[in-house]
Amino acid sequence: MKIEGQAALVTGGASGLGEATARELARLGAKVAVLDRNAELAAKVAAEISGVACVCDITDTESVNAALDKAAAAHGPARILMNVAGIGSAKRIVGKDGNPAPLEDFVRVVNINLVGGYNMARLFAARCAKLDALDNGEKGVMLFTASVAAFDGQVGQQAYSASKGGLVGMTLPMARDLAQHAIRVCTVAPGLFATPLLMELPEAVQQSLAASIPFPPRLGKPSEFAELACHIVTNGHLNGEVIRLDGALRMAPR
């Protein structure tokens, strides 16, 4: 799908990988809606790319529908959804104090990263399926953001890995489901990227993380994620696939 002129939605668009994706889409001529629960940062990014900020919580159907309505009113119906919003977590299943990990923590992470992603996907897909196909036969395309932790999760990453593994697992069946509606679905599994999350770690920790990446031995740039995300939109034969973007990194147990 040609990006220029299309209306696009980016969840998590207020920060990090989502922000870079929103900026790249805008640079390529898309009309971008920044969907994020951080109102202040969403407004800032949207203003800088002449887009629209739509504050929402991806786990809350009412707020997502309101955001989709606001985005459609500003830009027309969206054919591109970049699901980038997500949270991290680290909790050992049996803590150092011998107590079991709090179940609420596992539920919270899976609810945002996996259930929230599915919620966005279903609400977007139902709207997109009603649109006419473009000249190339396509109606829409969406992307999920998993993580290499879906495959090689580290100590303490059960909730995060389960949530990202869930996105990986539903990529193909969702692509199969949505084939009849001419909507493609792909997932990117990033390695270690230089986003606010990692940039807040001490310099020495950042360097040791970077050194663990075979090549290039540096953290990924958010712009590199954004380039791949936009390539998935433009390459009409990419569908039902999960792509690692990690410099050949395979995470160690800890």
Residues forming contacts to ligand NAD in the complex (CB under 6 A) are 11-12, 14-18, 36-38, 56-59, 84-88, 112, 116, 145, 147, 190, 192-193, 195-198
Residue closer to ligand NAD (CB basis): 6 or 113: 113
Q: Are 155 and 253 within 8 A, CB to CB? A: yes
* Nearest distance from C-beta of residue 34 to ligand NAD, angstroms: 9
**Which residue in 124, 144, 160, 193 is the catalytic one?**
160
Closest to ligand NAD by CB, 125 vs 188, is 188
Provide, rounded to whole angstroms, the least separation between the CB of residue 238 and ligand NAD. Answer: 19
- Closer to ligand NAD by CB, 93 or 201: give it: 201
Distance CA 254, CA 245 (A): 20
CB-nearer residue toward ligand NAD: 10 or 125: 10
Q: Is 160 a catalytic residue?
A: yes
CB of 196 to ligand NAD, least distance (A): 5
Q: How far is the CB of 108 from ligand NAD (least distance, A)?
A: 10
- Residues marked as catalytic: 160
